[in-house]
Amino acid sequence: DQQVKQNSPSLSVQEGRISILNCDYTNSMFDYFLWYKKYPAEGPTFLISISSIKDKNEDGRFTVFLNKSAKHLSLHIVPSQPGDSAVYFCAASEGAGGGADGLTFGKGTHLIIQP
């Protein structure tokens, strides 16, 4: 049973527009959420995270929104750039980000930015 779900395997967005990647989770014990960007045969690169005590966190072009009641989070990238094309993974942890717990990952969404 998948506890972190990314239901869109791929997403195509025009350059300059907003990219919205969605993630749903089922485990109510998750309290720390992260987004990673990944290229083939490379390790994931950390983008942004959010604690369950917040509903929004922003870092440059990246904003993560968390809706705890809906068990849903989303990553907004604006404006989208060609270099943003990659696979994006949503991940969650039970440890409030304390570092002692491994992450549970979604299956990823392949974002394609079209010129």
Applying CB under 8 A, the residues found at the interface with another protein are: 34, 36, 41-46, 49, 89, 91, 97-108
Residue 45 CB, nearest approach to another protein (Å): 8
In the complex with another protein, which residue's Cβ is closer, 10 or 14?
10
Residue 79 CB, nearest approach to another protein (Å): 23
Q: Helical H runs in the chain?
A: none
In the complex with another protein, which residue's Cβ is closer, 16 or 98?
98
* Rounded distance between C-alpha atoms, residue 11 and residue 28, angstroms: 27
Residue 61 CB, nearest approach to another protein (Å): 17
Residue 59 CB, nearest approach to another protein (Å): 11
* Rounded distance between C-alpha atoms, residue 19 and residue 79, angstroms: 8
CB 5 within 8 A of CB 105: no
* Rounded distance between C-alpha atoms, residue 84 and residue 19, angstroms: 9
Residue 42, Cα to own-chain centre: how many angstroms?
17
* Rounded distance between C-alpha atoms, residue 82 and residue 45, angstroms: 17
In the complex with another protein, which residue's Cβ is closer, 72 or 110?
110
In the complex with another protein, which residue's Cβ is closer, 43 or 115?
43
